Structure 1
Amino acid sequence: MAQKQALRQGDFLKIGMDDGTFCFARVLHEPYMAFYGLRSEDERPIDEVAQSKVLFKLAVMNRAVTSGRWRVIGNLPLEEELRQPVKSFRQDPITKKLSIYVNGADSSATPEACANLERAAVWDPEHVEDRLRDHFAGVPNKWVESLRFKE
């Protein structure tokens, strides 16, 4: 049985993919994590991971780590950019009105303001792994497509 791990800001995570490679993430402020554009056949030093491009930031179920599915491989203090609040959008299912959600508060928004934001949602680790797999394969991800705002 996997040993439970507590999450700390700045923790680097190793995500085992089904093809034997690894992807990497970083714990921001719970429940948010940043996912890097680095895939490797072996574990990489955290300095190298930190220098990689951040692909996206999502809220993720912490069972990804507490279950032992994703392993903590180190910790560094968060860079200024990663300490910033994560913005996402919400859309009313009936009126279709959009808002930007940050730090627990909503403000009205236009489609243009939401175009590059993630929908406010908490992702399962399996869906994040699908998204990473699709990113590196260069194909659209069904979860991302299903969460886009509707006009």
Structure 2
Amino acid sequence: MKRQKITLGSILEIPIDGKYYVYAQILNNGYVFFDYKSKEQITDFEILNDKTILFIIAIYDQIITKGEWLKVGKMDIRKELEILPMKFIQDALQPDHFEFYNPNMGEIAPATKKEIIGLERAAVWDKNHVEDRIRDYYNGVPCAWLKDDRELFNTTFP
């Protein structure tokens, strides 16, 4: 494994089952995963500028710093990704109690269940969980790690 620094704008290459590659970009306080897979490793990362966003999440630093996913390039961060979307927090002891979490400022504010619909849960994801989520998305099956969110909102998530 190659030691790496977390560098804003860097492109990460995520190999999935030795079958294809998916790409993500390091943002300020998060990571964006693009809805793009390739059987071949890419070198022209500008192609990612036109791709839709699969999801924006936080991941454990060691995935990058220990080289579990390699930095393979760098590009400017899209304007719409300079400010990350709100996330939600659900109280484990009071499941009907919700809060907004602003990953840009670290601020927390009260919210209703209706207000958080469509938001990503505030969580830090591990390598295997992210890879499962990507794999499940491209296989068209519900991700086990999003079961609680599907039940909470009675919907599916990428």
TM-score (norm 2): 0.87
Judge conservation of contact 1:91–1:149 (CA < 8 Å) in 2.
Answer: no
- Residue of structure 1 in register with 2:106 after alignment: 104
Could you tell me which amino acid in structure 2 is paired with residue 132 of structure 1? I
Secondary structure of 1:73 counterpart? strand
- Describe how 1:24-103 pairs up with structure 2 within 5 A: 24-30=23-29, 32-44=30-42, 45-96=44-95, 97-102=97-102, 103=105
Which digits, 9 at most, give the CA deviation of each residue in 1:105-134, with x for residues without a partner? 111112122111111110001100000000
Instruction: Supply the distance in 1 between the matched residues of 2:63 and 2:99 (Cα, whole angstroms).
Output: 28
- Residue of structure 2 in register with 1:127 after alignment: 129
Could you tell me which amino acid in structure 2 is paired with residue 99 of structure 1? E
Aligned-residue offset at 1:20: 2.1
- Residue of structure 2 in register with 1:8 after alignment: 7
Aligned-residue offset at 1:9: 1.3
Q: Could you say what the CA RMSD is over the residues aligned between the two structures, in angstroms?
A: 1.6
Identity rate, percent: 30
- Residue of structure 2 in register with 1:141 after alignment: 143
Dislocated runs of 4+, deviation >4 Å: 147-151
- Residue of structure 1 in register with 2:156 after alignment: none
Which digits, 9 at most, give the CA deviation of each residue in 1:76-114, with x for residues without a partner? 121111111331100112222111100211111121221
Unaligned stretches of 5+ in structure 1? none
TM-score (norm 1): 0.91
Could you tell me which amino acid in structure 2 is paired with residue 124 of structure 1? D
Instruction: Supply the distance in 2 between the matched residues of 1:148 and 1:87 (Cα, whole angstroms).
Output: 18
Judge conservation of contact 1:15–1:71 (CA < 8 Å) in 2.
Answer: yes
Distance 1:148 1:87, change over 3 A: farther
Unaligned stretches of 5+ in structure 2? 154-158
